[in-house]
């Protein structure tokens, strides 16, 4: 009985810390993946010598693309379906991030120029009710940075 009681106490202490660890790892993983995508968008803009955009939608989907129809947003009209252009697909890359993280309440977009500079913006990655979050900031120079913040990036 004593062994079971000690085991129950240890589990009661360990389980909440494991949940916090899992949430922190989810936030960190999403921030690292988003930063890598931003860096890829910047490098593609330099490599292609034209503007390349990174867009994060309210559905937790992100895309790296060239706005071929110049409407300021990613649409199916921007897709390149020419099979001879396999080295330059559009969208260049897309993906989604951890379902447990809160989705932004508006579309976040930054565009990198052929010089690698970008439009300054920030993206908050947080789990509702969790005490920490991560803020991914894109400077005007085009450099993405990750900062650990309090609840909801405060």
Query: Residue 53: inside a domain, yes or no?
Result: yes
What pLDDT, on the 0 to 100 scale, is given for residue 84?
A: 57
Structure tokens at 94: 């897309």
Q: Which CATH number covers residue 70?
A: 3.55.40.10
Which domain does 28 fall in, by range? Answer: 1-149
Q: 8 CB contacts (<8 Å, ≥6 apart)? A: none
Q: How many domains does the chain have?
A: 1
What does pTM read for this prediction?
A: 0.80
With b for 16 or more beta-carbon neighbours within 10 A and e for fewer, the 140-153 pattern comes to: eebebeeeeeeeeb
Hey, which bits of the chain come out as E strands? 52-56, 61-65, 93-96, 108-112, 121-126, 133-138, 144-149
Query: Residue 68: inside a domain, yes or no?
Result: yes
Please check the confidence at residue 76 and state whether its pLDDT lies above 80.
no
What pLDDT, on the 0 to 100 scale, is given for residue 79?
A: 72
């Amino acid at each position: 009985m004593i062994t079971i009681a000690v085991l129950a106490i240890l589990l009661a202490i360990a389980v909440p810390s494991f949940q916090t660890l899992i949430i922190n790892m989810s936030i960190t993983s999403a921030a690292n993946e988003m930063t890598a995508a931003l860096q890829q968008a910047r490098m593609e803009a330099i490599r292609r010598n034209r503007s390349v955009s990174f867009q994060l939608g309210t559905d937790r989907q992100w895309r790296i693309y060239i706005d071929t129809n110049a409407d300021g947003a990613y649409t199916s009209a921007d897709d390149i379906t020419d099979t001879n252009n396999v080295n330059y697909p559009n969208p260049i890359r897309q993906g989604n991030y951890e379902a447990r993280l809160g989705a932004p309440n508006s579309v976040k977009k930054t565009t990198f120029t052929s010089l690698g500079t970008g439009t300054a913006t920030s993206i908050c990655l947080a789990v509702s009710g969790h005490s920490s979050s991560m803020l991914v900031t894109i400077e005007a120079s085009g450099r993405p940075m990750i900062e650990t913040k309090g609840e909801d990036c405060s």
